[in-house]
């Protein structure tokens, strides 16, 4: 069985140590961090965001060690500057207009092209790369894996607040990102040649300068031999991150296993999958998603049990039983959004919500 390597990228909020509002002060953190972490710590467009990315991980246990280590490092680096670190899809009460843009030609070009759509994109996600044997097989697997994106998204929902008010969504982050072009559930491609032709047309016509400006929820990476899951909110705890990453790894492993036996899971149209994505963003793990095979609404928790059954045989191969089974605890305790809302119901104070997120970010380290 192939290893299906993992790489995990997390986007962290940098906060003022006293007010707990977003603080545009990542430059010293990046400067000091790169001495030790090299390319594993990166700047983002807003100066209140820092991205941390693991090395290529051979298995989920190594991924846990990397994610835990990087969280320890970013918390320590921020602490040296009197700052705090939080892991959530949006900041509950900070405003994007108060945040500075990082000086960089790439970001300058993005701002010039998209104006306030880019400036207001003050959101935080988690991206997971899963290694694939080759691009053609990766393309076929990506087509099928799209169906499971709302399942993973619902588990990750962690952005119920935006600019100081409750949005009614468990993930408002995706609503903000929807304003960007080339986002959302990817379309179906019959083969990798068709996909490459699509990218080349966009480059040739000046829509993009390279494939990295395809910001779909799942994409065949333009430079690495990976399928990249991009749909998830930034999640609070290491346990949640590792559970969802293990699910992603197992979905890819299972679909490739079926593909090589000339079997497959059904492929569904993007317009149908979008219905489930909307429900997942609105209601999180409390959603009723559509089982398109049965043509019926099904409670999300039931669909998760079906997903666990579907991947069960490869869970053994991947050696991630404990990590995958953490999903039961996630269903019981609620997503990050559910827990944020619980704190807000109890306190009526969004700063208390931020304080809770900060504590959860370092949980178990």
Q: Mark the ranges of the chain whose per-residue pLDDT is less than 50.
A: none
Q: What is the largest CA-CA distance in the chain?
A: 58
Among 105, 128, 126, which residue's Cα sits nearest to residue 45? 105
Q: What is the pLDDT of residue 223?
A: 86
* Topology of the domain comprising 6-361: Creatine Kinase; Chain A, domain 2 (3.30.590)
Tell me which residue of 28, 51, 339 sits closest to 170, measured CA to CA.
339
Round to whole Å and give the CA distance between 135 and 132: 7
Helices 270-283 and 149-156: crossing angle in degrees, nearest 10, is: 10
What is the residue-averaged pLDDT of the chain?
A: 96
Q: Looking at the DSSP assignment, which residues form a beta bridge with residue 288? A: 299
With vertex at residue 149, the alpha carbon angle to CA 59 and CA 316, rounded to the nearest 5 degrees, is 30
Residue 53's beta-bridge partner residues? 9
> 100 Cβ partners below 8 Å, 6+ apart?
24, 46, 47, 48
Q: Provide the residue count of the chain.
A: 365
CA distance 87 to 360: 8
Nearest CA to 14 out of 4, 5, 2, 25 is that of 25
Which is it for the CA torsion 90, 94, 95, 99, positive or negative? negative
Alpha carbon 230 to chain centroid, angstroms: 5
The DSSP secondary structure of 180-235, one letter per residue, reads: SSSEESPPP-SSHHHHHHHHHHHHHTTS-SSGGG-EESEEE-SSSSEEEEEEEEPP
* 281-301 pLDDT, tens digit each: 999 999 999 998 889 999 999
Element (H, E) at 230: strand 226-233
Q: 216: Cβ–Cβ under 8 A, 6 or more apart, which residues? A: 182, 183, 184, 185, 186, 230
Residue 266: the pLDDT is 86
Which structure tokens are listed for 182? 């080339």
- Written as six digits, the tokens of 268 are 């569904």
pTM above 0.85, yes or no: yes
pLDDT at residue 212, as a whole number: 87
Rg value, the chain, Cα: 19
Domain regions of the chain by residue span: 6-361
Pair 65, 238: CB distance under 8 Å: no
């Amino acid at each position: 069985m192939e290893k299906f390597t993992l790489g995990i990228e997390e986007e962290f909020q940098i906060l003022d140590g006293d007010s707990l509002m977003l603080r545009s002060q990542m430059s010293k953190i990046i400067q000091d961090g790169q001495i030790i972490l090299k390319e594993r710590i990166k700047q983002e467009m807003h100066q209140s965001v820092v991205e941390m990315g693991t090395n290529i991980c051979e298995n989920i246990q190594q991924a846990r060690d990397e994610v835990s280590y990087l969280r320890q490092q970013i918390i320590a680096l921020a602490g040296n500057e009197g700052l705090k670190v939080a892991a959530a899809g949006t900041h509950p009460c900070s405003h994007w207009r108060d945040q500075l843009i990082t000086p960089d030609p790439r970001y300058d070009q993005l701002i010039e092209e998209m104006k306030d759509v880019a400036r207001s994109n003050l959101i935080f996600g988690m991206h997971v790369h899963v290694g694939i044997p080759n691009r053609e097989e990766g393309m076929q697997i990506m087509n099928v894996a799209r169906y499971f994106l709302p399942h993973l998204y619902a588990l990750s929902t962690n952005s119920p607040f935006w600019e100081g008010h409750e949005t009614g969504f468990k993930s408002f982050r995706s609503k903000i990102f929807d304003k960007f072009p080339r986002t959302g559930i990817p379309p179906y491609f019959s083969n990798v040649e068709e996909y490459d032709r699509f990218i080349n047309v966009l480059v040739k016509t000046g829509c993009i300068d390279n494939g990295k400006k395809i910001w779909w929820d799942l994409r065949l990476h333009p430079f690495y031999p990976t399928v990249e899951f991009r749909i998830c909110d930034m999640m609070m705890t290491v346990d949640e991150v590792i559970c969802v990453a293990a699910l992603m790894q197992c979905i890819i492993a299972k679909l490739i296993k079926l593909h090589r036996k000339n079997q497959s899971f059904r492929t569904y149209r993007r317009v149908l999958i979008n219905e489930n994505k909307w429900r997942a963003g609105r209601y999180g793990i409390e959603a009723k998603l559509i089982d398109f095979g049965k043509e019926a609404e099904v409670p999300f928790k039931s669909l998760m049990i079906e997903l666990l059954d579907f991947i069960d045989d490869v869970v053994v191969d991947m050696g991630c039983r404990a990590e995958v089974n953490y999903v039961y605890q996630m269903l019981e305790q609620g997503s990050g959004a559910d827990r944020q809302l619980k704190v807000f119901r109890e306190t009526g104070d969004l700063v208390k919500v931020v304080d809770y997120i900060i504590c959860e970010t370092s949980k178990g380290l």
